[in-house]
Amino acid sequence: MTSLLLIRKLLPRCVFLALLWPLYSTVSAAEDAPPASMDPSHKALLEEYCLDCHGPEKQKGKFRVDELSFALNDLQTAERWQKVLDAINSGEMPPEEEKQPPSKEKADFLDDLAHVMVSARRQLSDQHGVITLRRLNQRELKNTLITLLGAAVDVSDLPSDTDAGSFDTVGANLFMSGSQFEQYEAIGRNALEEGFALRAATGVPKKLRYEVEETLKTISDYVRTELETHERGKKWVEAVEAAMARPENATVVAELRKSAKSDAIVRRSWEKIAGAPSPESFGFISTENTADKANRAFNNNPASFAYQSRYLELPALDTGAYLTIRDIDGGLNSALLPRIPDGFPPGDYVIRVRAAATAESAPERRFLDFGFKGRKRPTTSVHEVTGTMASPEVIEIPFHRTLEHRDQNRNGLYIRERGTADNFEQLKFKQEQGRKLNGIGFEPAIWVDWIEIERLPDSEIAPGLRALEGIALDDKTRPPKAPELRAAFERFALEAFRGAQPSERFLDRLVGCYEESRADGSRHSIALREALALVLASPKFLYRAEPSPSEERRPLNGPEMATRLSYFLWGAPPDPTLRALGNSGELLKAQVLAAQAGRLLDDPRSMEFVKAFTRQWFNLDRLDFFEFNPALYPRFDYATKLSARNEVFETFANLLRENGPASDLLRADYVVINGALANYYGIEGVHGDAFRKVSLPKDSPRGGLLGMAAVLAMGSNGEHTSPVERGAWVLRKLINDPPPPAPANVPALTRLAGKVLTTRDRVLAHQEEAQCASCHRKIDPIGFGLENFNAVGLWRTEDSYHVKDDEGKAVPNAKISWTIDPAGALHHGPAFASFLELREAIATKSEPFSRGLSAALIEYALGRPCGFSDEPLVDAMVAQARTKNYALREFIHALIRSEAFQRK
């Protein structure tokens, strides 16, 4: 029992591994890896400070340190050491009244022990190359259905498979449950419905143009109505006031005024005032209180719709429309919302927007946010408006329409000025800013001529649908007979199972299910989809099985190799070429395999690997953990965040494309950016939506991961930078020297709350306690060295801190400002005086960085933890890449060439 508890502690987010432990324990753990062990020199500390109570004389808590083995090669020993670590970390031991070790000594001891525990964890959880059966994860399932049926269905209700703390490809963390099975059935049915619809729509052209000047009428009507309503409200108020002024009403009015906060409240009691007219008689009809409505109309004076009145004075309203910034009016023209007619079938579409930026508009406002309708749906993409009023340009945005877009909440798209309605806080902020500027609101910056939606010609028929050719997919023609149906089921299952043979009895039962549905009154097309959905919910589809009845590790066969390779580099099943090479066995030849790996990497589909791998490796999900305060960081809107995240992907993709050195991620003299990011970073002369390589001046802080807005913003909490978060990230990801997990039971540093301190002083408090200093002396200097970047990755030289009270309000006279001092030194490493020097120091770490990259690739590609027993493979990958100046593809080729990749 206790050992199980320990495993949970050692593997906090890998509970399932704990269950599997007995299976793997048949392989000796200590055989091929050096045991994790504490250096014998630490015996002195234990003897000096612990032995009196935990030795031969006394055994308090039945715990003896003198019998503790210094080699942690079994769970019992590791568990006992964990107790030592926890007790010293929490300050529980040595007890307060006893002699305490000096801080430095204690810190070194804890530092070593924490690292030994990390090693022990790696060692004791080493799977020794055994790959647990892998289920298709959420994104692989989506890609697989796109490949098989051409259908892009919503799979977001399934578990995301990314929260296990490792890659979403790791088999042991890919679970299954009854409700999930039912979701697979439902997703399968949706995908089939969509696939069938795509098939039926083959060759159907659709095109539609919206002339957006039609929106003018709504705005002019609005202004007219508002004005008219206000006038009526004013007249009612005047009439009630006249009645109130009558001498006979003096007593009543005085009485009413006593309890009312304002005249508006008094007017609510108009019925008690003789001669006061009803709001209804002035046309105020409502199910709620009509006097409230009339009072509101009275308060709503022309100043409150000045923004819309101003709109009517702008030029070129007869041929187009401007994008406004959402105002209290409900946001007339703050978004243009072309509706796609219901008759437009699913398929690939392009939306074209002919647009211009006004001559006066600031460069950072010349961007469009594009997304699917629904105010809370985040921006899908951002586009630069490069056209001018004299010569507008057409922006093309591709998108895939699915059956889900039939839903009336999803059947539209939106175009709006970037960063004007990401969330409510931003909206309010923009309004206030605009009002402050000129009393009315920001002048519109973007003019749109028209919006066009066109369905693109269909790509070739998806293999799953091709397999069904010969039987009717709809109810217009004769439904197939049982033998035809069975043959079609077999062809479909072969395709869905990536070449694995469905069993005879399975096919029989599928036909049985179909017939049962038909007997029950279902139409043919429905019964067919229900039966086929079972193929998509059965284990040969959902799991990537590599059968091997004995536990012996055997070489993969051709089809298995094709599947493993394509899920690695595309996150999707093999295409016909790869499948054919797999089936013929050609793929098992080293040269063919390498050539195919190269082909897959050249294909745009490898972006799936780039995104999934880098997102998880670098923990980019942290960018979504918090909202960036729009009042503090107005420029870091969703569009910027989206582009910043894409910069990481595009930089990695560019390295893959060029087979450039992985070490460019540590430092580079170029960036890979689009127009939006160039504007954000202040780099001149880059316009448009495509990411491209741009050279940097010598002293630029950009270039490499450390200069990327996404990486720097992740190292904040949306408001302040977090030097600890940043420093730890650098240690984990760039230097491959991950700090051990933060110790349990350490009290938070609350005593500093509300103190007027610089960031450095606040963070340095971590180093007062020995148990904290052991890690923070490594982490913090790196974080301080990055302080010239603010919470959203923009360069700064000054910083300040303003104490806030419980309500979040700034406390007067509790502010401190300082000039940032990035100077410091790596632990046991070189000193640096500036960010650029820190970056130089980190750029020398290509070797450890390459090891980290290799380990991550092994884990991602093989779907299992990279253990001690993988050290030789890591060595081989790094050695291979080193000969080619750490060229990125060399890592991948070396991995694919390895026995680990080629064996079950």
Partner 1 sequence: MNIPSSRRRFLRSTSALIALPFLESLGFRRFASAAAAQAPAKRMIFLGLGWGLTTETWFPDANQPGSNYVMPKGLEPLARHKADFTVLQGLTHKMVNAGHQGSTFWLTGANQFAVPGKSFHNTVSVDQVAAQHFGRHTRFTSFQLDCGTYAGNSGHGQGLSLAWDESGKPVAGVNNPVEAFHRLFSSDDIPLERRKALLKKRHSILDTVLEEARDLQRGLGKNDNAKLEEYFEGIRDIETRLGKDEQWLEVPRPKAPIREPKAGLAGYEEIKLMYDIAAAALQTDSTRVIGYRQPVDTLLTSLDIKVAPHDMSHYHSTMGEKLDASQRRDLANSELLAGLIDKLKAMKEADGSSLFDHTTLAFGTNTRTEHNGDNCPTLLAGHGAGLKMGHNLVLPKGTPLCNAWLTLLQGSGVPAERHGDSTGIIKELIA
Residue 543 CB, nearest approach to partner 1 (Å): 7
Query: According to the binding rule CB under 8 A, does residue 166 interact with partner 1?
Result: no
Backbone angles phi, psi at 27, to 5 degrees: -90, 130
Residue whose CB is less far from partner 1, 292 or 454: 292
Residue whose CB is less far from partner 1, 251 or 262: 262
Distance separating alpha carbons of residues 338 and 209, to the nearest angstrom: 9
Pick from 2, 179, 251, 750: which binds partner 1 (CB under 8 A)?
179
Query: According to the binding rule CB under 8 A, does residue 267 interact with partner 1?
Result: no
Binding mask 185-214 for partner 1 (x = CB under 8 A): x-----------------------------
Token reading at 359: 């001559």
Stated length of the chain: 904
Give the binding range for partner 1 (CB under 8 A) out of 105-113, 375-383, 779-787, 849-857: 375-383
Pick from 133, 186, 208, 757: which binds partner 1 (CB under 8 A)?
133
Pick from 481, 505, 809, 828: which binds partner 1 (CB under 8 A)?
505
Token reading at 656: 């893959």
Give the binding range for partner 1 (CB under 8 A) out of 143-151, 178-186, 328-336, 480-488: 178-186
Residue 77's closest CA among 69, 65, 86? Answer: 69
Distance separating alpha carbons of residues 22 and 467, to the nearest angstrom: 44
Q: What is the DSSP letter of 625?
A: S
Query: According to the binding rule CB under 8 A, does residue 299 interact with partner 1?
Result: no
Query: According to the binding rule CB under 8 A, does residue 156 interact with partner 1?
Result: yes
Residue 731 CB partners (closer than 8 Å, separation 6+): 737, 738, 739, 778, 779, 782
Query: According to the binding rule CB under 8 A, does residue 377 interact with partner 1?
Result: yes
Residue pair 606/656 in contact (Cβ under 8 Å)? The answer is yes
Token reading at 525: 């097309």
Residue 725's closest CA among 714, 734, 735? Answer: 714
Pick from 516, 575, 737, 821: which binds partner 1 (CB under 8 A)?
516
Angle at 269 between CA 267 and CA 274, to 5 degrees: 90
Pick from 37, 180, 583, 700: which binds partner 1 (CB under 8 A)?
180
Query: According to the binding rule CB under 8 A, does residue 621 interact with partner 1?
Result: yes
Distance separating alpha carbons of residues 887 and 291, to the nearest angstrom: 75
Residue 575 CB, nearest approach to partner 1 (Å): 24
Residue 404 CB, nearest approach to partner 1 (Å): 13
Residue whose CB is less far from partner 1, 513 or 836: 513
Pick from 281, 550, 591, 797: which binds partner 1 (CB under 8 A)?
550
Residue with tokens 């647009």: 355
Give the binding range for partner 1 (CB under 8 A) out of 32-40, 126-134, 611-619, 706-714: 126-134
Residue 190 CB partners (closer than 8 Å, separation 6+): 151, 153, 154, 403, 404
Query: According to the binding rule CB under 8 A, does residue 818 interact with partner 1?
Result: no
Pick from 340, 351, 537, 714: which binds partner 1 (CB under 8 A)?
537
Give the binding range for partner 1 (CB under 8 A) out of 467-475, 530-538, 580-588, 671-679: 530-538
**Alpha carbon distances (Å) from 240 to 55, 235, 254, 269:** 93, 9, 15, 10
Query: According to the binding rule CB under 8 A, does residue 378 interact with partner 1?
Result: yes
> What is the DSSP annotation of 257-279?
HHH-SSHHHHHHTGGGSTTPPPG
Give the binding range for partner 1 (CB under 8 A) out of 136-144, 205-213, 310-318, 498-506: 498-506
Alpha helix segments (H runs only) across 439-521: 463-466, 482-496, 504-519
Bond from prior residue into 94 cis (ω within 30 degrees of 0): yes
Query: According to the binding rule CB under 8 A, does residue 510 interact with partner 1?
Result: yes
Residue whose CB is less far from partner 1, 360 or 552: 552
Residue whose CB is less far from partner 1, 179 or 819: 179
Token reading at 751: 């005593």
Residue whose CB is less far from partner 1, 338 or 502: 502
Pick from 287, 797, 813, 883: which binds partner 1 (CB under 8 A)?
287
Residue whose CB is less far from partner 1, 62 or 261: 261
Give the binding range for partner 1 (CB under 8 A) out of 128-136, 326-334, 427-435, 769-777: 128-136
> What is the DSSP annotation of 809-837?
PEEEEEEEEEE----EE-TTS-EESSHHH
Question: Residue 193: helix, strand or coil by DSSP?
Answer: helix
Residue 343 CB, nearest approach to partner 1 (Å): 27
Angle at 644 between CA 638 and CA 645, to 5 degrees: 90
Query: According to the binding rule CB under 8 A, does residue 128 interact with partner 1?
Result: no
Distance separating alpha carbons of residues 334 and 342, to the nearest angstrom: 24
Query: According to the binding rule CB under 8 A, does residue 280 interact with partner 1?
Result: no
Query: According to the binding rule CB under 8 A, does residue 376 interact with partner 1?
Result: yes
Backbone angles phi, psi at 414, to 5 degrees: -130, 150
Token reading at 554: 């055997």
Residue whose CB is less far from partner 1, 449 or 530: 530
Residue whose CB is less far from partner 1, 188 or 723: 188
Residue 864 CB, nearest approach to partner 1 (Å): 11
Angle at 805 between CA 799 and CA 809, to 5 degrees: 70
Give the binding range for partner 1 (CB under 8 A) out of 206-214, 215-223, 265-273, 815-823: 265-273
Token reading at 508: 């029989």
Pick from 538, 614, 850, 869: which binds partner 1 (CB under 8 A)?
538
Query: According to the binding rule CB under 8 A, does residue 381 interact with partner 1?
Result: no
**Alpha carbon distances (Å) from 221 to 229, 301, 308:** 12, 16, 10
Pick from 41, 44, 102, 175: which binds partner 1 (CB under 8 A)?
175
Distance separating alpha carbons of residues 745 and 504, to the nearest angstrom: 58
- Per residue, the 3-state secondary structure of 500-565, as one string, reads CCCCHHHHHHHHHHHHHHHHCCCCHHHHHHHHHHHHCCCHHHHEECCCCCCCCCCECCHHHHHHHH
Pick from 76, 202, 299, 548: which binds partner 1 (CB under 8 A)?
548
Residue whose CB is less far from partner 1, 406 or 509: 509
Distance separating alpha carbons of residues 67 and 56, to the nearest angstrom: 9
Query: According to the binding rule CB under 8 A, does residue 255 interact with partner 1?
Result: no
Pick from 534, 656, 708, 730: which binds partner 1 (CB under 8 A)?
534
Residue 806 CB, nearest approach to partner 1 (Å): 10
Query: According to the binding rule CB under 8 A, does residue 517 interact with partner 1?
Result: yes
Query: According to the binding rule CB under 8 A, does residue 444 interact with partner 1?
Result: no
Residue 103 CB, nearest approach to partner 1 (Å): 33
Query: According to the binding rule CB under 8 A, does residue 808 interact with partner 1?
Result: no
Residue pair 670/693 in contact (Cβ under 8 Å)? The answer is yes
Distance separating alpha carbons of residues 863 and 168, to the nearest angstrom: 8
Beta-sheet pairing, 798-804 with 810-819: antiparallel
Binding mask 5-34 for partner 1 (x = CB under 8 A): ---------------x--x-----------
Query: According to the binding rule CB under 8 A, does residue 157 interact with partner 1?
Result: yes
Residue pair 593/565 in contact (Cβ under 8 Å)? The answer is yes
Pick from 518, 540, 693, 903: which binds partner 1 (CB under 8 A)?
540
Pick from 432, 469, 624, 798: which binds partner 1 (CB under 8 A)?
624
Interface contacts to partner 1, rule CB under 8 A: 20, 23, 130, 132-133, 156-157, 160, 171-172, 175-183, 185, 265, 268-269, 287-289, 292, 374, 376-378, 502-503, 505-506, 509-510, 512-513, 516-517, 520, 534, 537-540, 542-543, 545-551, 621, 624
